[in-house]
């Protein structure tokens, strides 16, 4: 196997892995009726003029399974954190008691569970489309090598099978992640 082919396969594997990682990260932000500190990952607060993630300004803990407690290290940030949470799209109203902020996650209704399930399946399908685009890019690069006579027809065929195996394994991982998240959401 030539160095160029190895490079193409390494890049393919890396891009496929990154797509799965991004999907799993997106799944962690989906509310499933239980308190999950990851829903706050993208929420930032103005900390001395710098937009800073809440997790870097406060201690975040889960209380009783459905309540997140945010205890800022600097009490003067309470109002700013509360405002940031209200303007974010997490869909939960914060309660401020002067020392900590609480986010109580409501129990999901059946309708909302089905909605989230559809959203998760769509995210999974989008990831699969990305995987197919990555496969196309890798096959195009291999076809170019074959056209330039840098690899033989047999080597191309073997590489094509390797690409298919990588993509099939990656899509199976996506399906597994989607079904696990769907099961988590649909469990009452």
Note the pLDDT of residue 20: 92
| DSSP state for residue 187 in the 8-state scheme | -
Tell whether 64 and 131 lie within a shared domain.
no
CA 120 to chain centre: 11
**Which pLDDT score, from 0 to 100, does residue 125 have?**
94
Residues, the chain = 188
Q: How confident is the model over 35-66, as pLDDT tens digits?
A: 778 778 888 898 888 888 988 888 998 888 78
Q: For residues 115 and 182, state if they share a domain.
A: yes
The rounded distance, in Å, linking the Cα atoms of 18 and 164 is 17
Q: Is residue 32 scored above 70 in pLDDT?
A: no
* Residue 72 β-bridge partners: 58
Using a 10 angstrom Cβ sphere, with 0-12 exposed, 13-18 middle and 19 or more buried, the burial of residue 138 is buried
If asked whether residues 77 and 99 sit together in one domain, one would say: yes
Number of domains in the chain: 2
**Stronger pLDDT, 63 or 170, i.e. the higher one:** 170
Residue 136: per-residue pLDDT = 93
Residue 126 and residue 92 share a domain: no
CATH number of the CATH domain containing 124: 1.10.132.20
* Spatial distance between the Cα atoms of 93 and 74, rounded to a whole number of angstroms: 21
Q: Do 120 and 96 reside in the same domain of the chain?
A: no
Same domain, 179 and 113: yes
CB neighbour class for 16 (10 Å; exposed up to 12, middle 13-18, buried from 19): buried
- CB of 170 within 8 A of CB of 164? no
Counting DSSP H helices and E strands in the chain, the numbers are 4, 6
Q: What is the pLDDT of residues 104-149, one digit of tens each?
A: 887 778 888 888 889 899 999 999 999 999 999 999 998 988 888 8
CA pair distance 182, 117, nearest whole angstrom: 6
pLDDT at 66: 80
- Same domain for 100 and 116, yes or no, is no
Residue 91 belongs to a domain with what CATH number?
A: 3.30.1360.40
Structural domain boundaries enclosing 134: 3-29+109-186
If you average pLDDT over each of 11-15, 34-38, 83-87, which comes out highest?
A: 11-15
> What is the chain's mean pLDDT, rounded?
87
Q: Which of 85, 104, 123 is the last residue of a domain?
A: 104
Residues 72-110 as b/e (b if ≥16 CB within 10 A, e otherwise) read beeeebbebbbebbeebebebebeeeeebbebebeebee
Both structure tokens of 4: 């160029």
CB 31 within 8 A of CB 106: no
């Amino acid at each position: 196997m030539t160095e160029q082919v190895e490079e193409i396969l390494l890049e393919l594997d890396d891009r496929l892995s990154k797509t799965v990682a991004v999907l799993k990260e997106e799944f962690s932000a989906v509310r499933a009726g239980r308190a999950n500190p990851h829903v706050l990952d993208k929420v930032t607060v103005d900390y001395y003029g710098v937009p800073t993630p809440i997790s870097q300004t406060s201690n975040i803990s889960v209380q009783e399974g459905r309540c997140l407690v945010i205890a800022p290290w600097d009490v003067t940030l309470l109002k700013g954190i509360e405002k940031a949470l209200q303007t974010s799209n997490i869909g939960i109203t914060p309660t401020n008691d002067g020392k900590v902020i609480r986010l109580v996650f409501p129990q999901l209704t059946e309708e909302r569970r089905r909605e989230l399930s559809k959203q998760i399946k769509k995210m999974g399908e989008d990831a699969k489309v990305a995987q197919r685009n990555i496969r196309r890019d890798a096959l195009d690069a291999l076809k170019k090598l074959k056209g330039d006579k840098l690899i033989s027809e047999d080597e191309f065929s073997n590489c094509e099978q390797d690409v298919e195996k990588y993509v099939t394994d990656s899509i199976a991982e996506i399906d597994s992640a989607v079904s696990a998240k769907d099961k988590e959401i649909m469990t009452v």
